[in-house]
A and B are shown apart, each in its own frame.
Chain A
């Protein structure tokens, strides 16, 4: 029985961690909040892994290919016991490794990323190796929709289908933005589900914040034997903070301590905050 209320509670704490990381240098808050529900749902209900199984070759793997949303991953891993939540206070400190992109010095992070378009192929190597060695591991790769501009994603998609990697699941965090622009205004991706289907993926399109839909999407894998799975999760940038939701200029944010407190209150249901910190346009 899926405890959606518990997933919601953890996801809210993960969002709060990400908001607290968005100061003293800042972080990519927008993408972190769009994928928070997906990551928490995967770690609590889908992935056959745990802090104790970090070296277990039969575990499932999660790879964050669009690494800039790593605050959501740091928060999820800390909440689930991979490392103490107190360590999150080290974000951006030279004394730790909690920087703007994931790396394997952080317990639970399977591989580093940062340059877009890499981890689908890395995940395919893990998935094919698992098949060759007869292991049960499944590989979940979270990609961004902006990341789908990279040709290496589509090159890898061709091969994933050719190699019949049905232990591979690609989740597109479809928050509609690439950096500070809407995807459809720069390099349109639609019809995205059709594109992925034509590359040989078994595709489903869901609301990436609706937990029962996530449950349904991941309930039966592979979705089609012999084919890799793609889940296009429609999400909202900065989900959970109505004052920032869907705003192009609030992708990377560096908040004042007072703004952090306002947004934490907004997350808990108080009235939307008004930010005075300068919007950062990256690129």
Chain B
């Protein structure tokens, strides 16, 4: 898509530019305007705020798509993927309509809101819809790089919205194509979304200590770049999956499915949320508490590397469990 992009490189700006260049695009929101504040003025009647009505928004988006439009719908990720799940499944998924679902503050980005707002199961439910594409941008630049392809693809697509400040230099975007951010063979790390830049920093620290990890940013979960997973598994012999999602139905399980299907037997260590919600707080505190700050990730990756060495010497089954975090019991974190 050719488009005159304005200098202000924000999601809102780019989406507005793309919509002005392509009259098929309409923007809907369930009164969630944080990321699209300037669009009512720019798009006029192609900006539709339905109020706090996620189900109605999705049904209407299907109606718009039946008329040849490409609806880009916005709501908080939990309410979008869960409250409106059946509408997405039935009206968008069964029909295979090109509705673009933009889920705000997914995973740890819900910060101090508490478990009701924690989209840590969104990948699980979106993956369960046949034909649904899933894009997990690592930062704002990746979000903007992927947006044109997402919008022009004929498939329904869920975007785990993340416009965090860019700290990485990304390879050119391609749907279904991972990028390798660090090359090494001591550890294979698979991640997507918010945590990628933190893992990259941790990898840089480990690299200074002589531990060279291969960091693969999957970017899209569906379609997923199976070859990138296979390559990491065959080069590194032990994999770590980092995700701000439940272990059920997220990237960890996706990776395991690929390995089993491809007949690869490799230890896979999950850094994710094991059957519990995370402790609500501001993002830096969440990351530290849950073990995903750069310092905590570095330590956990060092330990994973030691496991790998031990496993290669003894051929014992690697213990994938790390020490439990303090004072958090299953499903009952007490804020």
Contacts and interface: CB of A to CB of B under 8 A. Distances in A.
Interface string B19-59: 00000001000000000000000000110101101011111
28 contacts: A111-B91, A111-B95, A112-B95, A115-B86, A120-B59, A121-B55, A121-B60, A121-B87, A122-B59, A122-B60, A122-B63, A124-B56, A124-B60, A125-B65, A126-B64, A126-B66, A128-B60, A129-B26, A129-B63, A129-B64, A129-B67, A130-B67, A152-B59, A155-B56, A158-B53, A159-B51, A159-B56, A163-B50
B3 interface: no
Nearest to B61: A125
Given A104-B95, A121-B87, A159-B51, A152 B56 contact: yes
Q: Chain A: interface residue count, which band?
A: 20 to 34
Contacts of B86: 115
Contacts of A152: 55-56, 59, 87
Nearest to A129: B67
Interface of B: 26, 45-46, 48, 50-51, 53, 55-69, 71, 86-87, 90-91, 94-95
B94 A122 contact: no
B55 A115 contact: no
A118 interface: yes
A128 B71 CA distance: 12
Q: Is the interface of A mostly helix, strand, loop or mixed?
A: helix
From B53, B55, B56, B64, residue with most partner A Cβ within 10 Å: B56
- Top 4 nearest A-B pairs (CB, nearest first) are A125-B63, A121-B59, A125-B60, A129-B67
Nearest to B66: A126
Contacts of A111: 62, 66, 91, 95
Nearest to A121: B59
A158 B56 CA distance: 10
Nearest to B53: A155
A79 B51 CA distance: 42
Contacts, number: 91
Contacts of B64: 125-126, 128-129
A127 B66 CA distance: 11
A155 B86 CA distance: 15
A124 B50 CA distance: 11
Given A115-B86, A133-B67, A122 B62 contact: yes
A189 interface: no
Given A115-B90, A125-B65, 5 more contacts: A121-B57, A125-B60, A156-B53, A156-B59, A159-B60
A155 B62 contact: no
A123 B56 CA distance: 10
Contacts of B48: 128, 163
From A123, A125, A152, residue with most partner B Cβ within 10 Å: A125
Interface string A152-179: 1001101100110000000000000000
A122 B66 contact: yes
Contacts of B68: 57
A186 interface: no
Nearest to A130: B67
Interface of A: 57, 104, 110-112, 114-115, 118-130, 132-133, 152, 155-156, 158-159, 162-163
A163 B26 CA distance: 15
A57 B64 CA distance: 12
B82 to A, nearest CB: 14
A159 B53 contact: yes
B90 to A, nearest CB: 6
A155 B57 CA distance: 10
A139 B62 CA distance: 14
A124 B95 contact: no
Contact of A127 (B26, B56, B63, B65): B63
A118 B94 CA distance: 13
A126 B90 contact: no
Contacts of B46: 132
A269 to B, nearest CB: 41
A123 B61 CA distance: 10
B67 A57 contact: yes
From A120, A121, A124, A155, residue with most partner B Cβ within 10 Å: A121
B269 to A, nearest CB: 40
B334 to A, nearest CB: 32
B68 to A, nearest CB: 8
Nearest to B48: A128
B50 A126 contact: no
A159 B31 CA distance: 12
Contacts of B53: 155-156, 158-159
Given A159-B50, A162-B51, A125 B59 contact: yes
A258 B74 CA distance: 55
A124 B59 contact: yes
Contacts of A156: 53, 55-56, 59
Contacts of A118: 59, 87, 90-91
A218 B91 CA distance: 28
